Amino acid sequence: MKIKMKMSAVCLALGLVLLAVFSDAQPQSVGHPDQCCFGYTDIKIPVKQIKKVEKTSDNCPTSAFVITTMAERKFCVKEFPKM
């Protein structure tokens, strides 16, 4: 009975070590773009409300622009807004 418990404890410890070593968890900033767009808005955002426009990373599945408004809301658009 004691041998089975020791064997179970060894298997559990080995499993935890393997899980820690081969875990795919990484900080989000390593190898992942900060922001990607998966949908777009058709809303016309007044130029006065636009704080910042940024192009999405080349690592994103689709090319887009992220518009940040003065109220810190973010919108994705397909084309660079005409200012």
Is 57 within a domain? yes
Judged on CB neighbours under 10 Å (0-12, 13-18, 19+), 45 is middle
Angle ∠(11,14,19) on CA atoms, nearest 5: 125
pTM of the prediction? 0.57
Is 39 within a domain? yes
Mean pLDDT calculated for residue range 17-29? 45
Is the model's pLDDT at 34 over the cut of 50?
yes
Is the model's pLDDT at 22 over the cut of 70?
no
Is 82 within a domain? no
Q: Structurally, how many domains does the chain consist of?
A: 1
Is 26 within a domain? yes
Mean pLDDT calculated for residue range 24-49? 72
The pLDDT, as a whole number, for residue 20 is: 52
Is 83 within a domain? no
The pLDDT, as a whole number, for residue 33 is: 55
Is 58 within a domain? yes
Both structure tokens of 14:
């080995």
Is 22 within a domain? yes
Q: Can you give the CATH number for the domain in which 36 is found?
A: 2.40.50.40
pLDDT tens track for 38-71: 999 988 889 999 999 999 998 898 899 999 999 9
Task: Give me the residue label for tokens 């900060």.
Answer: 34
State which residues form the domain around 37: 2-77
How far is residue 3's CA from residue 10's CA, in Å, rounded to a whole number? 10
The residues, ordered by sequence, that sit 6+ positions from 59 with a Cβ below 8 Å of its Cβ are 32, 33, 36
